[in-house]
Amino acid sequence: MGDRFESVQQVREGLKAVNYLADEGIAGVAFLADRLGKPVLVEGPAGTGKTQLAKSIAEATGARLIRLQCYEGLDESKALYEWNYKKQLLRIQADKNSDSWSEVHDDIFSDEFLLTRPLLEAISADDPVVLLIDEVDRVEVETEALLLEILSEYQVSIPELGTITAKQIPMVFLTSNNTRELSEALKRRCLFLHVDYPSMEREKEIVLTKVPGITDNLADQIARIVRSIRQLDLKKAPSVSETIDWARTLVLLGIESIDAQQAKETLHILLKYQTDIAKAAKELSVDK
């Protein structure tokens, strides 16, 4: 398979075409991941567009997105593969008169009885793939070992079948919210990208892109207010997606220029804890 992108600028333009506004750093890492065939570990606060980056890369390149949502207790049978035991048992019963166990064994341990999960599906795909391993920091340390062979060699070893090597190198994005420290072995195999909250100007541009019918003035006000709120000591700072939800709410309410009272009345869209809402409301009162 050829290179997906010819330049960093092409990455930015391709992402912008699918409404993802990438800065030079994000576009540069995506370009290098494509050229070097290496996974990207994307860290940063929740709601800053880490998952959306992988989705947008898939959309911009026309690749199929395969997603592995990580969680505590995730194991090989849900991430990599498992055997269809019920189907195997039926085949054994059907072949119970067979004189050769080796023939039955070879039959039931074949592709027909293999249930592929996201990691194996991405490796064995014929078509271009973007593999998203979302919230990898949620899995136990032991589960990370499942990823190491795939991320370094793009292959999977199945004892009964042998080694399955990738037909094409997928673009791989691992996201982390830093709930725990990832292993050095995993980090070594990846390019690193930190996605933080956007600058005020970039967040305004995101709002203008994502919210139909919003005025430039209202988008500017929203970006300024959100920036000031994020500087408070909050339990959970507002994410970019929550900024967009707030902007859509204000547009639906017909607000073109927001005042302190209107902001306070809609803060529950932006913030999710009452203590945070109270702090933000106090800040708005001081500002206004």
DSSP assignment string, 250-284: HHHTT-SS--HHHHHHTHHHH--SHHHHHHHHHHH
Residues 171 and 278 in one domain: no
Identify the pLDDT of residue 24: 92
At 181, the amino acid letter reads: E
Residues 57 and 147 in one domain: yes
Identify the pLDDT of residue 221: 96
Provide the number of structural domains found in the chain: 2
Please indicate, yes or no, if residue 108 is contained in any of the structural domains.
no
Domain that holds residue 225: 200-287
Residues 35 and 135 in one domain: yes
| C-alpha of 271 from chain center | 22
Identify the pLDDT of residue 288: 46
Residues 239 and 172 in one domain: no
**Per-residue model confidence as pLDDT tens for the chain (288 residues):** 568 899 999 999 999 999 999 999 999 999 999 999 999 999 998 889 999 999 999 999 999 999 999 999 898 889 999 988 888 788 777 766 665 555 666 677 778 888 889 999 999 999 999 999 999 999 988 888 888 888 888 988 888 888 889 888 999 999 999 888 899 999 999 999 999 999 999 999 999 999 999 999 999 999 999 999 999 999 999 999 999 999 999 999 999 999 989 999 999 999 999 999 999 999 887 554
**Token digits for 2?**
């050829």
Residues 138 and 241 in one domain: no
Residues 275 and 206 in one domain: yes
| C-alpha of 45 from chain center | 13
Burial 9-26 (b: 16+ CB within 10 A, else e): eebbebbbeeebbbeeeb
**Nearby residues of 27 by Cβ (< 8 Å), 6 or more positions away:** 8, 9, 11, 12, 15
Among 142, 176, 194, the domain-final residue is 194
Compute φ and ψ for 4, nearest 5 degrees.
-80, -30
Please indicate, yes or no, if residue 3 is contained in any of the structural domains.
no
Residues 256 and 280 in one domain: yes
Residues 188 and 204 in one domain: no
Residue 32: which H helix or E strand, with range? helix 24-36
Please indicate, yes or no, if residue 29 is contained in any of the structural domains.
yes
Which of 177-180's residues contact partners 24+ apart within 8 Å by CB, and which partners? 177/43, 177/44, 177/45, 177/46, 177/135, 177/137, 178/43, 178/44, 178/137, 179/137, 179/138, 180/137
Please indicate, yes or no, if residue 119 is contained in any of the structural domains.
no
Residues 238 and 272 in one domain: yes
Residues 132 and 38 in one domain: yes
Residues 54 and 137 in one domain: yes
Residues 139 and 56 in one domain: yes
Please indicate, yes or no, if residue 107 is contained in any of the structural domains.
no
Please indicate, yes or no, if residue 247 is contained in any of the structural domains.
yes
Please indicate, yes or no, if residue 226 is contained in any of the structural domains.
yes
pTM of the model: 0.86
At 220, the amino acid letter reads: D
Distance between CA 100 and CA 52 in Å, rounded?
52
Output the domain CATH number for residue 143: 3.40.50.300
Please indicate, yes or no, if residue 13 is contained in any of the structural domains.
yes
